[in-house]
Amino acid sequence: MARMERSCFTLDLGAVRRNAETLLRAAEGAELWAVVKAEGYGHGAVDVSKAALEAGATALCVATLPEALHLRAALRNARILVMGPVSERELGEARIARLELVAADGQVPEGVRVHLKIDTGMGRWGLSEIPAPTRDVVGVMSHLASAESDPAFTQLQVARFREATAGLGSLTRHLANSAAVLRFAESRFDAVRCGIALYGISPFGTDPADEGLEPALRWESYVALSKRLEPGESTGYGRRHVADRPTWIGVVPVGYADGFRRDMTGTDLLVAGARRRVVGTISMDALAVVLDAPVEPGTPVTLVGDGVLIEEHARVADTIAYEIAVGLNTRSGRARRVAVDG
Ligand SMILES: *Cc1c(COP(=O)(O)O)cnc(C)c1O
């Protein structure tokens, strides 16, 4: 019987607070709005929201109405902005829950606080021109397409936004995401909407420490079994890893159903603190690592944390850290989730 948790996520609330403080310093007077859509990028929306608000964030941003209602149940007084579309059926619930909505398609809802969204180059949601604000309108916003990689286009979007909102000084203007807050002072306006950096993940895919950010999530498991492969023997489905010499492997009881994706073969994790390579096909509930010697069953494994970065896993999987984080399965039944005040 295992003494360890099969899949355990630990959220460091202190790290979230310190990241929020770092972003507030970078925002230089603009408000910080914490983006906690998709269950707080897989980290736990309610816990992250509370920590961010404690550190000085003044609003929460989500994508959907159910996400907002979930937050409202835990946070009676927080400002909550739903950035994605809300159906007519959901509008009544949004009013009752005192949510704020975004008008991005020409229809401006009534009886609820509204932010007008203009398209300055994202080419997705957003109006091409700002309609005359109704009395429900409290903000005007846009979204950047490539603040992490394209300074010239970002500056163009900032200039378009500045021009389009020039006469609307009484409204709250907000444009910047994490990458923009960290790189473009002129993008900050009245409020900044930060997601990824709040979690201590770099929007640039590089080491978050370079931005003064601390990863907030640890993911741990254990080696359930060590096994020696003789030359010609393999581990896992499809026999994708065949030993060419006697090889010790460790079996870790976590797989793609937990968010350790099949395209993360080849990434590193820590076994008792030492970096080990993941080999073979990742199963739904298990993966294998190469060891230099057998280890005791129950030897701790760190899949994320202690220097193993989500950014690294993303590079191996040829995707962005956002997608890895959002795909982590922290639901009960698959994982234990704890929050600590670090
Ligand atoms: C997700 C999102 C953000 C946050 O972006 P990060 O890169 O995670 O900081 C900001 N604004 C909008 C409209 C978003 O959808």
Mean pLDDT confidence for 177-183? 98
Q: What is the pLDDT of residue 112?
A: 97
Residues whose CB falls within 8 Å of the CB of residue 285, separated by 6 or more in sequence, listed in order = 253, 254, 255, 257, 258
Q: What is the pLDDT of residue 126?
A: 86
Q: Which ligand 1 atom minimizes the distance to the CA of 322?
A: 8
- What average pLDDT does the structure give for the chain? 96
What amino acid occupies position 99? Answer: L
Q: Which ligand 1 atom minimizes the distance to the CA of 177?
A: 9
Within 289-341, where are the H helices?
A: 310-316, 321-327
Pocket test for ligand 1, best of 61, 117, 177 (most atoms within 8 A of CB): 177
Q: Check pocket membership of 203 for ligand 1, CB cut-off 6 A.
A: yes
Q: Check pocket membership of 178 for ligand 1, CB cut-off 6 A.
A: yes
Q: Is the pLDDT of residue 86 over 80?
A: yes
Token couple for 80: 């909550």
Q: Is the pLDDT of residue 130 over 90?
A: no
Mean pLDDT confidence for 69-84? 98
- Taking CA atoms only, the protein residue closest to ligand 1 atom 6 is 195
Cα 179 to ligand 1 centre (Å): 9
Euclidean distance between CA atoms 176 and 157, whole angstroms: 10
More reliable by pLDDT, 49 or 2: 49
Mean pLDDT confidence for 53-82? 98
Q: Is the pLDDT of residue 87 over 60?
A: yes
Active site residues: 37, 237
Cα 295 to ligand 1 centre (Å): 42
- Domains of the chain, first to last: 13-199 (3.20.20.10), 217-340 (2.40.37.10)
Q: Which ligand 1 atom minimizes the distance to the CA of 203?
A: 7
pLDDT, tens digit (0-9, with 9 covering 90-100), for 206-220: 999 999 999 999 999
pLDDT, tens digit (0-9, with 9 covering 90-100), for 40-61: 999 999 999 999 999 999 999 9
Q: Which ligand 1 atom minimizes the distance to the CA of 181?
A: 9
Q: Is the pLDDT of residue 3 over 80?
A: no
Mean pLDDT confidence for 300-312? 98
Cα 177 to ligand 1 centre (Å): 5
What amino acid occupies position 61? Answer: C
Mean pLDDT confidence for 167-185? 96
Euclidean distance between CA atoms 159 and 140, whole angstroms: 15
Mean pLDDT confidence for 144-160? 96
Mean pLDDT confidence for 198-227? 97
Pocket test for ligand 1, best of 192, 193, 320 (most atoms within 8 A of CB): 193
Q: Check pocket membership of 177 for ligand 1, CB cut-off 6 A.
A: yes
Euclidean distance between CA atoms 3 and 61, whole angstroms: 39
Asked if 303 and 260 count as a contact pair (C-beta separation under 8 A), the reply is yes
Q: What is the pLDDT of residue 154?
A: 97
Q: Is the pLDDT of residue 73 over 70?
A: yes
pLDDT, tens digit (0-9, with 9 covering 90-100), for 241-298: 999 999 999 999 999 999 999 999 999 999 999 999 999 999 999 999 999 999 999 9
Count of Cβ atoms closer than 10 Å to residue 29 Cβ = 7
Task: With CA atoms as reference, report the closest residue to 39 among 20, 60, 56, 58.
Answer: 60
pLDDT band at 2 (very low <50, low <70, confident <90, very high): low
Q: What is the pLDDT of residue 176?
A: 98
Mean pLDDT confidence for 225-250? 95
Q: Is the pLDDT of residue 111 over 60?
A: yes
Asked if 206 and 311 count as a contact pair (C-beta separation under 8 A), the reply is yes
Task: With CA atoms as reference, report the closest residue to 146 among 120, 174, 179, 119.
Answer: 179
Asked if 310 and 43 count as a contact pair (C-beta separation under 8 A), the reply is no
Cα 328 to ligand 1 centre (Å): 19
Rg (CA), the chain: 22
Cα 278 to ligand 1 centre (Å): 31
Cα 322 to ligand 1 centre (Å): 10
pLDDT band at 129 (very low <50, low <70, confident <90, very high): confident
Using a pLDDT cut of 70, give the percent of the chain over it. 99
More reliable by pLDDT, 331 or 22: 22
Q: Is the pLDDT of residue 1 over 60?
A: no
Taking the model in full, what pTM does it have? 0.96
Pocket test for ligand 1, best of 36, 61, 119, 161 (most atoms within 8 A of CB): 61
Residues whose CB falls within 8 Å of the CB of residue 216, separated by 6 or more in sequence, listed in order = 11, 12, 13, 15, 16, 19, 43, 48, 198, 199, 200
Return the HEC string of 180-247.
HHHHCHHHCCCEEEECHHHHCCCCCCCCHHHHCCCCCEEEEEEECEEEEECCCCEECHHHCEECCCCE
